Amino acid sequence: MSAELAIGIHDLSFATTEFVLPHTTLAAHNGTEIGKYHVGIGLRSMSVPAADEDIVTMGAAAAKPVVARHGGDRIRTVVLATESSVDQSKAAGIYVHSLLGLPSSTRVVELKQACYGGTAALQFAVGLVRRDPSQRVLVIASDVSKYELDSPGEPTQGAAAVAMLVGADPALLRIEEPSGLFTADIMDFWRPNYLSTALVDGQDSVAAYLHALDGAWKDYTEQGGRRLDEFRAFCYHQPFPKMAYKAHRQLLRNAGLDSDESLVAHHIGDTTGYNSVVGNSYTASMYLGLASLLENAQDDLSDRTIGLFSYGSGSVAEFYAGTVVPGYRAHLRVREHDEAVTRRRPIDYAGYRALHQLSLPEDGGEHAVAAQTGGPYRLAALSGHKRIYRPR
Ligand code: CAA
């Protein structure tokens, strides 16, 4: 089961946006009974990007402390996964690489498969480190989740980036083989190039997620994976936190285990803290769940096994296991992550709506972008169709 060389997540840091919209504000606007948001889908608030924030500024902000702690010398590859990219050709990670001052002797590439891309990036990183264990790979998952105003998806928006340093002899999580895989050509959620907001068949997408979970778990067991009762906790992709509960109840039921609510809460409860106040961050979502689990579980998770289920509409899913490394607590970023969510400025409904409808000029002219973010990097200007990023 475990390979001789331990490879996995050595450091994990996340960043989110300047603004936050409480669901009470959205509910007051659209007349929804707040229980639907707080209890029905499990969300309290969602992150809203400032005019000068995007996947690049969030990705660089997430990765900055990782590079500050470990240096950039051993990073030979940067993989940025996203489904809200800023260019059809240039990899967004190149802007991040430049903002972070990483060496030119680096390969940088962007990956896409809806919310699954972050896990694909992580598995590619594991493969690269297995080939040369002296190297490290910087994996960044960064997304802005955006649906049409007044649509059913609107309350499940959000934005965040996670940066993970992947290497040999990791300090946080050893990633195990095998993985359980599942792919199906379906249209549950997608975004054509000409749209800024996603299209989704909401209830079908929930069913598709659950179907993919069945498929990935089946493959995981067929590949010789662990028994369900060997896991201490499970991190699910969280388009909204209640999805993790729906998924986990199904997994337990299908395995013939009692889906008793106290067991479900024990397995899932610590994973939803950040997602419930950030909203959907697509590729980053499951890894915010992992951060939340490692930082909030009261018991010592050392040598305990965590199940991770990554789902990307369209669809690709993967179930894999990781084992927590003894001593992990000394490497967590509890204070920085708490600050990332508590420093956000509440925005009123009119301000949120204005940012939602904001589109950047497309005329190729010279345009300064309004300075709003308090984060370390900003989109400063557009010039001749080029995006100009600057440290703040
Ligand atoms: N108090 C408590 N609960 C309440 C309530 C109240 N007053 N009113 C309603 N609820 C409950 C409902 O009973 C329901 O619970 P169950 O799911 O347990 O039955 C829950 O709140 C949601 O209510 P509805 O199903 O009526 O909500 P909806 O139809 O308006 O939309 C949604 C729900 C389909 C998830 C919608 O938010 C949506 O389209 N979201 C975007 C798509 C999405 O997130 N899909 C998830 C799978 S795809 C994926 O994972 C990829 C990705 O990231 C997008």
Would residue 29 show up in a list of annotated catalytic residues for this protein?
A: no
Domains for the chain: give ranges and CATH numbers.
7-391 (3.40.47.10)
For all residues of the chain together, what is the average pLDDT?
Answer: 97
Which residue lies with its CA nearest to atom 14 of ligand 1? 40
Residue 259 pLDDT level (bands cut at 50, 70, 90)? confident
Average pLDDT over residues 66-72: 98
Q: Is 62 helix (H, G, I), strand (E, B) or coil?
A: helix
Would residue 237 show up in a list of annotated catalytic residues for this protein?
A: yes
Average pLDDT over residues 101-115: 98
Average pLDDT over residues 187-198: 97
Asked if 72 and 97 count as a contact pair (C-beta separation under 8 A), the reply is no
Q: Which of 205, 213, 246 to mutate to test the pocket of ligand 1 (most atoms within 8 A of CB)?
A: 205
Is the minimum distance from the CB of 282 to ligand 1 under 6 angstroms?
Answer: yes
Instruction: Determine which one of 18, 53, 83, 318 is catalytic.
Output: 83
Q: Between the CA of residue 159 and those of 20, 151, 276, what are the distances in Å?
A: 10, 18, 12
Query: What pLDDT, on the 0 to 100 scale, is given for residue 256?
Result: 86
Share of the chain above pLDDT 70, in %: 99
Query: What pLDDT, on the 0 to 100 scale, is given for residue 1?
Result: 43
Residue 142 pLDDT level (bands cut at 50, 70, 90)? very high
Q: How far is the CA of 15 from the centre of ligand 1 (A)?
A: 26
**Amino acid letter, 277:** V
Q: Is 282 left (phi over 0), alpha (psi -120 to 50) or beta?
A: left
Query: What pLDDT, on the 0 to 100 scale, is given for residue 2?
Result: 45
Q: Residues 146-164: pLDDT tens digits?
A: 999 999 999 999 999 999 9
Q: Residues 160-170: pLDDT tens digits?
A: 999 999 999 99
Is the minimum distance from the CB of 23 to ligand 1 under 6 angstroms?
Answer: no
Q: Which of 33, 34, 36 to mutate to test the pocket of ligand 1 (most atoms within 8 A of CB)?
A: 36
What is the Cα–Cα distance from 299 to 318, expressed in whole angstroms?
27
Q: Which of 24, 32, 37, 41 to mutate to test the pocket of ligand 1 (most atoms within 8 A of CB)?
A: 41
Q: How far is the CA of 153 from the centre of ligand 1 (A)?
A: 8
Residue with tokens 């106040």: 277
Query: What pLDDT, on the 0 to 100 scale, is given for residue 258?
Result: 79
Residue with tokens 């990791």: 170
Q: Which of 110-124, 159-173, 253-267 has the lowest mean pLDDT?
A: 253-267
The residues facing 110 across adjacent strands are 80
Q: Residues 296-350: pLDDT tens digits?
A: 999 999 999 999 999 999 999 999 999 999 999 999 999 999 999 999 999 999 9
Query: What pLDDT, on the 0 to 100 scale, is given for residue 4?
Result: 81
pLDDT of 231 above 70: yes
DSSP H or E run through 99: helix 92-100
Which residue lies with its CA nearest to atom 19 of ligand 1? 40
